[in-house]
Amino acid sequence: MSNRPESQKSEVDNLLTNLEVDVVRLTECQVSSGWRLIFPAAPLPALHYTLMGKGHMIVGNGPAIPLVPHMLVIVPAGRPFRFEVPPGGASEGAPPSWPGAAPLKVVEARLSEPPEGIQRFIAGEGEPEVTLVCGYFRASYGLSIDLFAAMAAPVVEHFEAGDGLMRNLEAVLDELAAGRVGMQAMTTALLKQVFVTLVRRFLTETGSSAPPLAVMGDQQVARAFAEMVTRPGAAHSALSLAQVAGLSRSAFMARFTRAVGHPPMAALRQIRMRHAATLLAARASSIEQVAHAVGYASRSSFMRAFRAAHGIDPSDYRAGLASSDAGPREAQAAAATLPSE
């Protein structure tokens, strides 16, 4: 980001610092020559990183994506995908799904529910031609302000060994396999580094296929959005946020909604409610203190907003976390379920 103003660097840093990245499921996939591994559509985006070997990936009815080591592919939510290796290996001409290709043996992935450690999907016999780490994830700011919600096509980026993505993702696999104390915190931190690397490429490299992160690419919207996520309890209004952005109220409303996917005050409400859930889970503040910390002058108005967002009163939410030893990420995990057997 060396070619960007210092103020925008700071705004992007604030946004990345407050980005919530949750690993919902992580798997290891291996495909041998002459085989196909199929995944059904899921309500969450999926990340795939080629650890070794070569093959092809097809998302929906789209074109074949060549897989080589250090290739990162992010698939939009709701899209099926598959991995294929032609007989004789991926270097032997066209992808096997093209007309005239030899038929492939097929394995359909079935995700266990609930997840138990790492699932491994193996399509084939003998040594695999391509090995990938695959995962479903959330990357968001509020309850539904998803960093990848506007993505209509797959992200395809080729990295180098020195970029560190393989090291991070292999460390995630090790953490999940070991099941040690702090596993969730460690895997979340490691995966967040992957997204920071991806966002850096989007912001610095012309021609990157990284998703249209409009909230980060629009300097004026990013300035206001950073103010919201770093100070959710401040007395924000559409007018005050437009002034932070240096735009008229009408221009700000239009550009913010286009970039974020929600009007400013709706986005602020989501950010506040997620922050409130985090404070309630910490059990260090009273409900009144939490209400004031997220910008509500009265307990009653906060309770109405929290109930509308989470479907439960703040006191019952906190009590439920205490009885289950679950944190806010675990409590929100039921919001999206993956297809299973």
For residue 212, pLDDT beyond 50 = no
Rounded to two decimals, the pTM is 0.74
Residue at token pair 């079935």: 110
Q: Where are the domains of the chain?
A: 6-204, 218-335
Ranges 26-40, 190-204, 227-241, 310-324: which has the least confidence: 190-204
DSSP string, 303-338: HHHHHHHHSS-HHHHHHHHHHHT--HHHHHGGGS--
Rounded distance between C-alpha atoms, residue 128 and residue 33, angstroms: 7
Q: Mean pLDDT, to the nearest integer, of 88-106?
A: 68
Tell me, what DSSP letter sits at residue 284? -
CATH class of 218-335: mainly alpha
Mean pLDDT over each residue of the chain, to the nearest integer: 82
More confident residue, 328 or 111: 111
Q: What is the pLDDT of residue 334?
A: 41
**Structure token pair of residue 302:** 């906060």
For residue 307, pLDDT beyond 60 = yes
Rounded distance between C-alpha atoms, residue 41 and residue 43, angstroms: 7
More confident residue, 218 or 89: 218
Domain 6-204, CATH among 2.60.120.280, 3.40.50.720, 3.30.300.30, 2.60.40.770 = 2.60.120.280
Q: What is the pLDDT of residue 328?
A: 47
